[in-house]
Amino acid sequence: MIFPTLDIEIKLWESGYSYVCGLDEVGRGCFAGPVVVGAVVFPKDVVLPEGIADSKLLKPQTRERLAEEIKKVALGWSIAEISVRDINNMGIGKATQKAFRKAVISVKPKPDFVVFDAFYNLNVVKIASSAYIKHLTRKRQQAVKDGDKICASISAASIIAKVYRDKLMVNLHQKYPYYGFAKHKGYGTKAHQEAIKKHGLCRIHRKSFSLGKFLT
Residues of each annotated binding site:
24-25, 117
Enumerate the known binding-site residues for a divalent metal cation: 24-25, 117
Q: What are phi and psi of 79, to 5 degrees?
A: -125, 135
